[in-house]
Structure 1
Amino acid sequence: MLSVEKAEVAHLLQMSLSKMAYDAERGTDIRLMLQVMGGVLTETAFFFEEPDETLAAMFTKISAVLGCDAYEGELPVWLDLDPVQIDTYTERGRELARMAIHDWADCEFGFVDMLVMVCHHVISSWEEEGIPRSETFRLLIEYATRCMCFEVAAQELCDVLIEKKMGRDGWTLGDCLGGLSGAAGWRLAKLNLLKKKLPKDSVPHPETADLDHLVTVMTAEATRMGVPAGSDWKFGLAANDAPVNPPIELLEGVEPYAQLFFSAVPMSDVRDQAVACAKAAGRMLAVVATGDEPEIADVIAKPLAMMAITETYHAFWLGY
């Protein structure tokens, strides 16, 4: 039986899910709410020794209470699984889970059961509005799975570079930061070239919107890990008319490990890979620029990361 305090947490959790996905003009955005829910499930899974198995077990529990399996068909083209948006809103869900689980520290399994019932209540209520529960459940799985993949990528890519490139090849933390940032910028350039297939002379300059969104992933992750937010991310960057100077050697050093990881996960979507690399770069930036004696001051490390991601993006976009 739930205590009054725990029942209140369950109620506040459901209210917070709705609030985080509310739009003044459109009301509750179901996709955003599912992304927040996916983040809550993923963060909860990380409280256990085997997060991937725990997340799968939670999906099984949700399937049982819903009385259906997740939709297995092709997702419609218009349903854009934007990885930047997914990372943003699932991270909000992860933060929500960290706050909520404190009152359940004596029983993590009880917290899981509570989340399962919240998911059941929310998904069932949407079915009354004509949204099949199997399709909603499928989206929840997609969002939570991507959230876990992004987190694992950030951790694993940082760890392997510190172990292999620093321990064996003499790289510095700054080199690791430049390589990961460059890997994110290269993948975004590759994505745009594959997607748009425009003649070279019709692309006078790269579009900045996609790059800005990707940079947001890196800066948000760094800030979450303790790097001061500030406004000095672009301090000292080269002028727009200066020749681009991407960290090619660092990028080439990172790529074998990045490709091996993305093949093993697997993560074939270049957009997802770009976000994973940007998130890893933000994590590495925190390693470089935080602590009592940071290797590089944050006012220097932040522009270095920005330069690597932007210069690589510009070089590969304009140089194809």
Structure 2
Amino acid sequence: MLSVEKAEVAHLLQESLSKMALTEDKGTDIRLMLQVMGGVLTETAFFFEEPDETLQAIYNKISAVLGCDAYEGDLPYWLDLDPVQIDSYTERGRVLARMAMEDWADCEFGFVEMLTMLTHHIIVSWEEEGIPRAESFRLLIEYATRCMCFEVAAQELCDVLIEKKMGRDGWTLGDCLGGLSGAAGWRLAKLNLLHKKMDKEEARRPSDFDLEHLVTAMTTEAVRMGVPAGSDWRFGLAANDCPANPPLDLLNGVEPYAQLFFSAIPMHDMRDQAVACAKAAGRMLAVLSTGDEPEIAPVIAKPLAMMAITETYQAFWVGY
């Protein structure tokens, strides 16, 4: 039985989910709310020793109370799974979960049960508005799974470079940052090249997934991890008419590990891979430039990351 305090947390959690998904023109955006909910589920899974298995168990619990499986058909073309947006809103959900868990620290399993029933209540209420529960459940799974993949990717890519490239090949943290940033820029360039070859009817990538959109994933992650926010990201960058100078050696050093990881997850969507690399770069930037004695001051490290992602993107895309 829920205590008064825990019942209040459940109520506040639902209110916060709605507020985080508010838009000026649409009111509560259901897709954004599902993204925040996906972040809550993912962060909850990270409280347990086997997060991936826990997340699957949560899916099973939700499926049982909903009385249905998730929709298994193809998602419509107009439903764009923008990974930058997904990362942004699921991270908000993760923060929300950490705050809520402070009152449930003595009973993580009870928190899972509360989330299961809250999710059931929300999804069923949408069905009364004409949105089938199986479709809402499918989107929730899509968002939560991507959230976990982005988090695991960011951590694993940073860890493997520190262990293998720094420990064995003598790389610095700055080299790791340049390689990860370059890997993100290269994937965006490759995405554009693939998109250019498609017929317009086959092209599903929205035009607004550009370099600035991708950079948001890197800068947001860096600030989230403690890098000072500010407008000095492009300080000292070369002018637009200068030849591109991508960190090819660093990119080549990162790619074998990145490709192996993305094959193992698996993560095949090039946009998802680009965001995962950008998120990892943001995290590496925090390792490099925060703390009492940072290896490189943020005012220098931030433009280095920006230069690597920009120069690599321009070298492989601009002019083709």
Instruction: Mark yes or no: TM-score above 0.5.
Output: yes
Partner of 2:245: 245
What is the CA-CA distance between 1:209 and the residue it aligns to? 6.0
Partner of 2:202: none
What is the CA-CA distance between 1:319 and the residue it aligns to? 5.1
**Structure 2 Cα separation of the partners of residues 208 and 68 of structure 1:** 35
Equivalent positions of 1:1-320 (< 5 A) are 1-197=1-197, 210-318=210-318, 320=320
Structure 2 gaps, min length 5: 199-206
**Structure 2 Cα separation of the partners of residues 136 and 169 of structure 1:** 47
CA-to-partner distance for each residue in 1:167-200, whole Å, 9 max, x for gaps? Answer: 11100000000000000000001101111239xx
Secondary structure, aligned partner of 2:103: helix
Amino acid at match of 1:235: F
**1:54–1:153 CA distance, 2 compared to 1 (3 A):** same
Secondary structure, aligned partner of 2:210: helix
CA-to-partner distance for each residue in 1:276-311, whole Å, 9 max, x for gaps? Answer: 000000010001001111111111000000000000
What is the CA-CA distance between 1:256 and the residue it aligns to? 0.2
Amino acid at match of 1:10: A
What is the CA-CA distance between 1:160 and the residue it aligns to? 0.3
**Structure 1 Cα separation of the partners of residues 155 and 52 of structure 2:** 14
Tell me the TM-score normalised to structure 1 length: 0.96
Structure 1 gaps, min length 5: 199-206
**Structure 1 Cα separation of the partners of residues 220 and 259 of structure 2:** 24
Secondary structure, aligned partner of 1:244: coil
Q: Which runs of 4+ in 1 moved over 6 A?
A: none
Secondary structure, aligned partner of 2:254: helix
**Structure 1 Cα separation of the partners of residues 189 and 142 of structure 2:** 25
Secondary structure, aligned partner of 1:318: coil
CA-to-partner distance for each residue in 1:20-42, whole Å, 9 max, x for gaps? Answer: 11112211111000000000000
**Structure 2 Cα separation of the partners of residues 319 and 135 of structure 1:** 42
**Structure 2 Cα separation of the partners of residues 108 and 208 of structure 1:** 40
% identity of equivalent residues? 85
Partner of 1:203: none
**Structure 1 Cα separation of the partners of residues 39 and 260 of structure 2:** 26
Tell me the TM-score normalised to structure 2 length: 0.96
Secondary structure, aligned partner of 2:60: helix
**Structure 2 Cα separation of the partners of residues 194 and 95 of structure 1:** 36
**Structure 1 Cα separation of the partners of residues 244 and 289 of structure 2:** 25
Secondary structure, aligned partner of 1:167: helix
Amino acid at match of 1:260: L
User: Size of the alignment, in residue pairs?
Assistant: 312
Secondary structure, aligned partner of 1:48: coil
**1:185–1:208 CA distance, 2 compared to 1 (3 A):** farther
CA-to-partner distance for each residue in 1:56-93, whole Å, 9 max, x for gaps? Answer: 00000000000001111111111111111100100010
Larger CA deviation: 146-155 vs 289-298:
289-298
CA-to-partner distance for each residue in 1:217-248, whole Å, 9 max, x for gaps? Answer: 00110111111011111111111111110000
**Structure 2 Cα separation of the partners of residues 208 and 115 of structure 1:** 34
Partner of 1:202: none
